[in-house]
Chain A
Amino acid sequence: MCAALAQDGGTRENWPHYGGRESAWRYSELSQINATNIKRLVPVWTFQTGDYMGGLQSTPLVIDGVMYVSTSRNRVFALDAASGKEQWQYVYTPQDSAGLIYGPWNRGVAVAGGLVYMGTIDNHVVALDQKTGRETWKVNVEDMKQCGCNITAAPLVVKDKVIVGVTGGDSAHRGYVTAYHAATGRLAWRFWTIPGPGEPGHETWEGDSWKHGGGSSWMTGSYDAALNLVYWSIGNPAADFWGGNRKGRNLYTDSVVALDADTGKLKWYHQQIPHDVWDFDTAYENVLVDLPVKGAMRKLLINVNKSGVTFVVDRTNGQVVNAFNLVKHFNWIKGVTETGELVGRNEPIVGQTMLICPAIGGGRSWNHAAFSPKSKLFYTTALEWCQNVTAQTEQAREGETYFGGAFVMKDPPGEKSYSHLDAIDPVTGKAAWTYRSKYPLLASVLATAGDLVFTGDPEGYFFALDARTGRKLWSHQTGSGNRGSSISYAVNGRQFIATPSGWGSAVAGLMAQLWPEAEHFRTGSSVVAYALAEESR
């Protein structure tokens, strides 16, 4: 009986959504390219976007042989996915030359119903005609100078609505998730991530702190059609390192919220870090998997917190099933219980400089994990690094940076900073294998039915590991560091793997404090597509 209900979260010819499918597995069912023949994988085309400042953080989408890719300054290209030939391009002109608190970077588009949707660096959402790239509608989510926010994440289309999150967690900002009618751009609903006066949860904020309390929604959510729930991760409270004027749990910051897809009403929430003072957002992907827990099938949601603590919850009600830590070096807490309670908080103290691990760049960055239903393993990167934090009091100035402290990157005690990619059991957190990297791994992971796991590194190597053992099987120098998300798709029976190449981002910028040579890592912005050499298929 259970098998009949088996969940299908893999992609095939198309890569239709940011996370592959709405369940965010980043897993392809294609196996033409596999662990046996990968030695014959060769680059077949490269596309230079020309928009290289900030690198390329995108997840390309592929629908019916056409690839849609967005760049840091919101250019969108439609390419023939087999040849890389350009079909159209859209050049976005930001409203004015306002400063960019977050950016410039963009992580992808959504495609549905003949339109291509993108959030912009000046906080608009645009919808483009899928055939021509012509702008069909455009709406200003909020003036970016006022909210101190913009959009870097890919939108999520659910039925007749397009849903977007905004940055702003390090600004004097009050976050929200907004849904627009996909056809017209009209506002459908807005979920405020910080409850207003009279709403439940408002009492978890001291005084007026709720008005500028952060709670950004800066990554893309997931969707479960059977439950009609949208899962969104809500970021850290502001000010980041200082919480002296926002005593309380600060709901719904650092929480996963489950929203009714039609109304935006809160169904349940799970707060990972009450009253965060470390800038450890709950921000990343929500991977929706059905797996047995103690003999019973459960509908689970796996979320890696920026700290590296990973929470496994029941996605029907938010109940914690397990929690575990991905990183070796942590001292912000002593530990986390199986029920997700944090033990032994080590909070920054105003005016003191304290070594805190992991660093603000995270025990993992936003780059996504992958889940393979074949190996039943969850593949995620992790970062081992620390920082000296000096918390300071700060007054909120609407729309402006609101950080409450400063930091300097440091190596962990007794060890040079490094990074790893782990294959873990998603319920227990137990590692099947681990792959160690000298530099932070900051590109997303792709898993395929060919028993392969792909990711890339800051030096520009895009590589494949054996999904079962972690052994490196193949690598290719893409020309610039990898900070985007690779995908797989097929055109006319030929499987392709494609990866963005282009070094940049906030966390990439932090690297030079620990590895001075990283200051000279070259940026770029291209998509490289690979397939098996024709004759060897």
Chain B
Amino acid sequence: MTALLLIVSAAWAQDGAKVFQQSCAVGYCHGTAGSANRAPRLAGRDFDRTYLLRVVEKGVPNTAMPGFQGKVKDEDLRAVVEYVLTLGGGARPVAAAPVAAAGQAAPKNLPGKELFFDPVRGTRCGTCHLVEGMGTAAGPNLAAKPDITAGDIERARSPHVETATFAGDRFPALVVSRKDGWVKLYDLTVAPPVLRTLPEGSVTFGPGTWAHGQAAGSYRSGELEKIAEYLRSLAKQ
């Protein structure tokens, strides 16, 4: 390692301590200076730099460790890796960093995205559509529509939604699969849609009367405009 790189690493580790305090030591996670809480102890362990960076960026699948790429600035992620390295194999942990001020580096969301996933709305788009890995994939993929407009959303048709009858109960249904005598379908009576598995022989299907307009009806057309803009930006990525 060159001297210059060493100096850079040391400076990074200082910044990294701050990032660690804010993003890693919090709550039940890795604890002050990596002393371990709900997540494993990081202090006093030897880590490989490349390995650490990968874990910090991508997270560990099926565990509580999230990937921080895109949520925390890249240089901060590199800094936090340098800091964690100082906690390992005998190196003394740097003193606790001064507490950070509020109002830093929140990811910038498109307003359209916020509307799509608006948590205060019972029937937000995300209840039925999966976009950017979030939501439920009952409705079709909306991330591949470079020309979508608010009008397209307003007029969205639902040709695949049928009316199912099961045990005397009639409801709008979108069939997902038929296998081994069982039919899997989304029950769209109310949001969120329910994925039901029913014995194929005892469900009958008739023409659908479900209207997408009522599902998307909690949005005003100005809002649909913003959502369309967001979806177009996804298609261009």
Closest chain B CB from A36 CB (angstroms):
43
- Taken residue by residue from 49 to 84, chain B's Cβ proximity to chain A (1 for < 8 Å, 0 otherwise) reads as 000000000011111111100010000000000000
- Residue pair A400, B196 in contact (C-beta under 8 Å): no
Q: Chain B 91-122, CB within 8 Å of chain A: the 1/0 string? A: 00000101111111011000000000101101
B64 touches A137 (CB 8 A): no
Interface centre among A104, A394, A519 (most CB of B within 10 A): A394
- Whether A186 lies near B133 (C-beta < 8 A) is no
Chain A residues contacting B102 (CB-CB under 8 Å) are: 245, 393-395
**What is the 8 Å Cβ interface bit string for chain B, positions 177-212, against chain A (1 contact, 0 not)?**
000000000010111111111000000000000000
The answer on a CB contact under 8 Å between A401 and B169 is: no
Candidates A139, A351, A392; contact of B194 at CB < 8 Å = A139
Given contacts A136-B197, A509-B38, contact A186 B28 (CB under 8 A): no
Cβ contacts under 8 Å, A506 to chain B: 28, 37-38
Q: Write the nearest CB–CB distance from A191 to chain B, whole angstroms.
A: 13
- Shortest Cβ distance from B100 into A: residue: A392
Interchain CB contact under 8 A, B27 and A146: no
A103 to B99, CA, bound (A): 28
Contacts of B191 in A (CB 8 A): 187
- Are A143 and B135 in contact, with the CB atoms below 8 A? yes
A94 at the interface (CB under 8 A from B): yes
CA distance A147 to B66 in the complex (A): 14
Shortest beta-carbon distance, A29 to chain B, in Å?
37
**With an 8 A cutoff between CB atoms, is A99 at the interface?**
yes
In the complex, are the beta carbons of A187 and B190 less than 8 A apart?
yes
Q: State A190–B127 Cα separation when bound (angstroms).
A: 15
Task: Tell me if B232 is interfacial: C-beta within 8 Å of chain A.
Answer: no
* Nearest-neighbor residue (CB-CB) of B190 within chain A: A187
Say yes or no: is A42 at the interface (Cβ < 8 Å to chain B).
no
Interface check A411, CB cutoff 8 A: no
Given contacts A185-B196, A351-B99, contact A140 B190 (CB under 8 A): no
CA–CA, A101 and B194, complex, Å: 24
Which residue from A94, A136, A145, A351 sits with its C-beta under 8 Å from B62?
A94
A170-B28, A394-B22 known; A146 and B119 CB under 8 Å?
yes
Please tell me if the beta carbons of A184 and B66 are within 8 angstroms of each other in the complex.
Answer: no
Q: Does B163 contact A (CB under 8 A)?
A: no
Report yes or no: A406 in contact with B31, Cβ–Cβ below 8 A: yes
Q: B63 touching A100 by the CB < 8 A rule?
A: yes
Chain A residues with CB under 8 Å of B126's CB are 143, 146
Asked if B41 contacts A397 (CB within 8 A), the reply is no
Contact with B along A93-123 (1 / 0, CB 8 A): 0101111111110000000000000000000
A268 at the interface (CB under 8 A from B): no
Residues of chain A within 8 A of B134, CB atoms compared: 143, 145-146
Q: Mark A508-524, 1 if CB is under 8 A from B, else 0.
A: 01101100000100000
Q: Which A residues are CB-close (under 8 A) to B174? A: none
**In the complex, A403 Cα to B39 Cα: how many Å?**
15
Residue among A137, A141, A398 making CB contact with B197, cutoff 8 Å = A137
In the complex, what residues of A have CB within 8 A of residue B62's CB?
94, 97, 100, 104
- Tell me the complex Cα distance, A196–B121, Å: 11
Interface pair B106/A397, CB less than 8 Å apart: yes
Q: Does B136 sit at the interface, judged by CB under 8 A?
A: yes
Interface residue A135 (Cβ < 8 Å from any Cβ of B): yes
Question: Smallest CB–CB gap between B138 and chain A, Å?
Answer: 9
Given A139-B192, A240-B27, A392-B99, 11 extra CB contacts under 8 A: A99-B59, A99-B60, A140-B127, A185-B196, A360-B28, A395-B103, A406-B26, A407-B37, A408-B31, A513-B36, A519-B41
A-B contact pairs, 6 of them (CB 8 A): A137-B187, A137-B194, A143-B135, A146-B119, A393-B99, A406-B26
